[in-house]
Structure 1
Amino acid sequence: MSDQDVASAKLEVAAARERMLASTHALQQRMKPTTLAGNAWDGLLDTSEDMAGRVGRAAARRPITTGAAVAGIAALLARKPLGRLFARLTGKE
């Protein structure tokens, strides 16, 4: 091997080392907990926006069904206060 071949090989090794270090640095940045959490949050926001849009379109197509479902859920969530209200109105406290 000539001196020129050795010098060329050393340059190739140095360039490959720099590429590997740059790739390693990029991977470390992508694997940081804050980056991973941010990416997960962005994905969750995109998914929730899409889901909200689909729910809104479905509610617009079936307003009576949607209203009944919302009323049922509200009654389920407020069952204790509603029970106390009915008891008070009927005098059965």
Structure 2
Amino acid sequence: MKKPDADLARAQYEAIQAKKRLASTAAALQYRLKPGTIVNNAWEGVRDKSSVIADDALQAVKDRPAAASGVVAAIAIFLVRHPLWRAATRLVSRRGEDEGIVKTNLDGYDKNYDLTAPTVERSAYEGVSA
């Protein structure tokens, strides 16, 4: 075989090898960019991170149980602060029987208009009925 023929054959062989490498790289990219693969990789990362965070948190609770209990109590109080506030105000406030009932005063009405008001039978907390 002559030198130019050998060079041509070698160049063709290298071109075929380069095409195979390119096809292999394209297939690998297609696999890595599939939505399912991306989601699986992300899920594994989150699972690994959450495992580390959970282990660290568990160790912190074991090391300082009083502080952890205080944090949990503070979060619980924060979450139920409105019902607690309502219950505390009901316990502390001293209302009479008539307080909280809607009343109507018709002493200064105009005689040309009928200002008959409905009778209220329930307190403002129970709702109003006419």
Distance in 1 (CA, whole Å) between partners of 2:83 and 2:64 is: 29
**TM-score normalised to the size of structure 2?**
0.61
For the residues of structure 1 that align with 2:89 and 2:37, how far apart are their CA atoms?
Answer: 54
| Aligned position for 2:12 | 10
Query: Structure 1-normalised TM-score?
Result: 0.82
Range with bigger deviation, 14-23 or 29-38: 29-38
State the alpha-carbon separation in 2 of the partners of residues 83 and 25 from structure 1: 63
Letter in 1 for 2:15: V
SS in structure 1 of the partner of residue 21 of structure 2: helix
* Cα RMSD after superposing both structures: 2.0
Runs of 5+ consecutive residues of structure 2 not aligned to the other structure: 94-124, 126-130
Match of 2:85 among 76, 83, 86: 83
Q: How many residues align?
A: 92
> Is 1:45 matched up with 2:47?
yes
Displacement of 1:74: 0.7
The answer to whether the aligner puts 1:59 opposite 2:61 as a matched pair is yes
Question: 1:3, 1:22 → 2: CA distance?
Answer: 29
5+ residue gaps, structure 1? none
- In 2, Cα distance between the equivalents of 1:27 and 1:73? 46
Corresponding residue of 2:30: 28
Identical aligned residues as a percent:
37
Letter in 1 for 2:7: D
Partner of 1:70: 72
The Cα of 1:49 is off from its aligned counterpart by 1.0
Greater C-alpha radius of gyration: 2
SS in 2 for 1:40: helix
Q: Which has the higher contact order (CA 8 A, sep 6+)?
A: 2
1:78, CA displacement in angstroms? Answer: 1.2
Deviations 1:69-92 (A, max 9, x none): 10001100111222233345x174
